Every structure is written in C-alpha cells, then in structure tokens.
Amino acid sequence: MTKLSVNINKVATLRNARGENTPDILKVAEDCQRFGADGITVHPRPDERHIRQKDVFDLQSKITTEFNIEGYPSPEFISLVKKIKPNQVTFVPDAPNVLTSNAGWDTVTHELFLSEIVAEMQAAGIRTSLFMETDLEKIKAASKIGTDRIELFTGPYAKSYAEDKVTAIAPFIEAAMLARNLGLGLNAGHDLNLENLNYLIVNIPWIKEVSIGHALISDALYMGLEKTIKAYKNCLTIL
C-alpha cells in the first residue's frame, strides 16, 4: 500500500504568523503519526518562512515513522541533512524565492552535479529521491545518476484532472512504467487531494509514497486532523 507522508510546512506558516508556538508543530507531527500517517515531510527554505532549521532538529526525536526532508541541495541544506540523517532526502530544483515547488529536475543538464550529491547522501545511509516531471529522457538520466527514487511532480495532473482525468494521467502512467522498468522507486506529490488521489493510485499502484501538505492541512480545518488523515489513507486503498 502506498504510504502517506504529511508535509507540515503549512502548519509552521500558521505558527510563524504570530511569532509564538501555536500551533505546536512538534505536537502536530506526533498527532499525524498517531492518527495513521506513515511519515512526516518538511521543506526548509533559506528564508525560514515556514519550517526553520531548529524545527528540523527538534522533529528528529519526534518522528517514529519516516522522516523526509525536501530542499534544494545547497551546501547548507546538504550539511543539515547529513546532521539529521533522515530516512529520505528529496532534492528539488527550487529557486530561493519560489512559493512552492513548480518544476522538476533537468537531470540531463545537471547529471554530474546530481550524481555527486546523490552518491554523498547514499554514502551517509540516506535514501535519495529526485523531484521529476514526466519527461522520459530525464527519467532515464535520473536512473543513470543512481538515485533510489524519483518523485513525480503531480501538479499538471491535478490541474487537468477535473477536465479530463484520463488524459491528465496518461503521461504519468507512461513515466511511472518507465521508472519501474529502470528499477527506480516511485513517489508522487504536489496538489494531490481527496478528489484526485485515489484515481492516481488505482492507475499507478506501485507508487511507494505520496507527500501531501497544503490540501491535507486545508481539509483538516473543516474535518479535523484525525478524520482528514484517515480520509487520505482511504484514498490510498485500492478496492
């Protein structure tokens, strides 16, 4: 069954709006796991507008499931990850000023750069994942780089889902099949929600993990965190 990793960045954004400790992201992380989440994801950015470096260290002892740290592989980020030693690091090609991850790696252009940092993380015992679009040549290049997994950027799928879900998912199925044939583990994330998640999993049941933050935390405002996590877990069940 596909695992659910809850991205708690938005909880930190809310906390930072008042400069205090409400909501308490450590308690939220513990509660997410208690309510059935299979992991916690954070994406610390240089400006610390949501998750701060201190949060990452504080969370280290609270996570009993899987810890996934996302980010651009700057020297500072690499240093942080090597100190924390999470279960997984997901490298994203974000510029410092972007609001959210909005593109995948060009693994052809950056093959040498990515090969070196992937090898460095694997030598430290950390599973690696590269944030990718559905470009088949770039997925082939990701395999050459030696990454353990790729995370498919599902933003385009989510954007087109309501209009034509069959067409929306077609390139993702093709990319996922290629990744599987190349021996790459497969994750997925970005704009997944209670409406579009199950269709993705039914069509690509070998996805190992989905990372969901914005929609899940938004739904929790209405449904409560426990019911929301259970609803997302239900979407990962193939009947």
Which of 70, 133, 151, 209 is flagged as catalytic? Answer: 70
Residues written for the chain:
239
Does residue 190 have an active-site annotation?
yes
Q: What is the Cα 133 distance to its own chain's centre?
A: 13
62: buried, middle or exposed (CB in 10 Å: 19+, 13-18, 0-12)?
Answer: middle
Which pair of tokens denotes residue 2?
A: 């596909």
d(CA 224, CA 218): 10
Does residue 226 have an active-site annotation?
no
Does residue 43 have an active-site annotation?
yes
* DSSP conformation letters of 164-193: -HHHHHHHHHHHHHHHHHTT-EEEEESS--
Which pair of tokens denotes residue 109?
A: 């252009």
**Residue 154 three-state SS:** coil
d(CA 188, CA 224): 24
Q: Which residues are catalytic?
A: 43, 70, 190
